[in-house]
Amino acid sequence: MQKRASFQASKTLFAPLPSDSDVFCDKKQIRLPYAEDFPVLHYHDRYELGICEEGEGLFLSEGKYSALSAGDIIFISPGARHYSRSIYPNALCSCRFFYFRPDPIRATLELHSPDRAKYETLARKVPTVIRRSEFPSAHRLLSELVEDCRKSLEVAAPRAFLRLALFLMEAEDLLGLTAVEPSGTQNHGAEERVAEFISLHYSESHSASELAAMCYLSESQLRRRFIASYGQPPIAYRNSLRCRIACELLTSTELPVAEVAERVGFGNVSDFYRMFRKAYGLAPYEYKKSKA
C-alpha cells in the first residue's frame, strides 16, 4: 500500500512563554530531542538568545539548517519559525535559552536611531548559530550578555535590552549583513508547504507523486510550480538540502562520511558521493579536509 505523507508534521505552532516578565529563562537546561523525534516548527513573540552548553545539534530556522556545538550562541528573532534537534541519540545536545520582550528593544532603538525598521529587518537576517571562529566580535558581545543573564535576570535585564539594541545596530559590521529586503515575493502556496515539509523530513524518501498528493496536485503541476519558485524540482531540492546539511555535519562533527550519508537520507554511499561532488566539485572527505 502506498504510504501517504501528511502536512500535519509541518504545522507551525505559537509557543507562549510561562511568564510576562521582560526577560525569561527556563530553570533547567533544554535537552534537544534526537533527530528521529517528531518535528514541529514553532515560534515565539520574543527575541530568543541561547548558548549550547554541551553536545551537538542541528537548528532549523526559516528553512535554513545550521550545526550547533558547545559554546555556540543561538539567535532567533520574534516570529521566526524554528526547530532544533540533537545529532547523537546517546549524547543529547543541551542548551540554555533566554527570551526578551521586543518592546524595550524597540524603544532603545528608537532612542538611538530614527530607523528602527532597518534594524528589525537586520534581526531577521542574523545567523541562527553564531560561532566564535566565524564572528568573534559578535560572539563575544552576545556571550557576555548571556553570562550576565545567567548570574541575575533582574540585574541584567536593563543592560540586556541596551546590548541587544546595540548588537542590531552594529550587525552590518559584526556579521556583514545588509538591511535591503530580498527581491521578489514570498511563496505561500502548495510548493512552499512542500518545501517546508522537505526541510523537516529531508532524510525520508517520499516520492514526487507522494509529495504532490499531499497538496492535491498532479506530479507535473507540483514540479512546474516548484521549479518556478525554487529553481529545481522537489527531489532535486531535497538532494540539495541533504548536501547542505551534510556540509554542516562534515565540518562541525566527527561523524564518518558513511554515517553522514545515512543521517541525511542517502541509503547508498555512492549516491551521496555522486550528489555531493555534483554540488560542490569535491568528494565529501575532500570537502571535510579543505575546511579543517
What CATH number should be reported for the domain holding residue 28?
2.60.120.10
d(CA 77, CA 84): 15
Within a domain: 2? no
Q: Residue 151: what pLDDT?
A: 83
Q: What percent of the chain has pLDDT over 90?
A: 58
Q: Which domain holds residue 152?
A: 7-175
CATH of the domain at 251: 1.10.10.60
Average pLDDT over residues 249-254: 90
Confidence of residue 77 (pLDDT cuts 50, 70, 90): very high
Average pLDDT over residues 95-101: 94
Q: Residue 179: what pLDDT?
A: 61
Within a domain: 145? yes
Buried b (16+ CB within 10 A) or exposed e, 252-289: bbebebeebbbbbbbeeeeebbebbeebbeeebeebbe
Nearest to 238 by CA among 285, 196, 269: 196
Q: Residue 188: what pLDDT?
A: 52
Q: Residue 183: what pLDDT?
A: 41
20-24, 182-186, 243-247: segment of lowest average pLDDT:
182-186
Same domain, 222 and 82: no
Same domain, 160 and 270: no
Same domain, 17 and 83: yes
Same domain, 154 and 273: no
Per-residue cell: 28: 533547567
Q: Residue 218: what pLDDT?
A: 92
Q: Residue 186: what pLDDT?
A: 43
Confidence of residue 209 (pLDDT cuts 50, 70, 90): very high
Q: Residue 283: what pLDDT?
A: 96
Within a domain: 90? yes
Q: Residue 180: what pLDDT?
A: 57
124-128, 154-158, 183-187, 233-237: segment of lowest average pLDDT:
183-187
Within a domain: 183? no
Which of 147, 175, 203 terminates a domain? The answer is: 175
- Provide the 10 A C-beta neighbour count for residue 204: 13
Numbers of helices and strands, H then E, in the chain: 12, 11
Within a domain: 184? no
DSSP output for 108-140:
HHHHH-S-HHHHHHHHTTS-SEE-TTT-HHHHH
Strands (E) in the chain, as ranges, are 12-14, 23-25, 30-31, 41-43, 47-54, 56-61, 64-69, 73-76, 82-86, 94-100, 129-130
Which backbone phi and psi does 37 adopt, to 5 degrees?
-70, 160
Q: Which residue has the higher pLDDT, 113 or 267?
A: 267
Q: Residue 74: what pLDDT?
A: 97
Which of 148, 175, 202 terminates a domain? The answer is: 175
Same domain, 239 and 98: no
For residue range 110-161, list pLDDT tens digits in order.
888 878 788 888 899 999 999 999 999 999 999 999 998 888 887 778 889 9
Number of domains in the chain: 2
Same domain, 24 and 156: yes
The long-range contacts involving 216-220, CB below 8 angstroms and separated by at least 24 positions, are: 216/190, 217/190
Within a domain: 67? yes
Q: Residue 28: what pLDDT?
A: 86
Q: What is the mean pLDDT of the chain?
A: 87
d(CA 28, CA 100): 17
Same domain, 241 and 161: no
Same domain, 255 and 154: no
Which of 175, 208, 237 terminates a domain? The answer is: 175
Within a domain: 42? yes
Confidence of residue 1 (pLDDT cuts 50, 70, 90): very low
Per-residue cell: 111: 532612542
Same domain, 139 and 278: no
9 pLDDT higher than 50: no
Q: Residue 276: what pLDDT?
A: 96
Q: Residue 2: what pLDDT?
A: 33
Within a domain: 242? yes
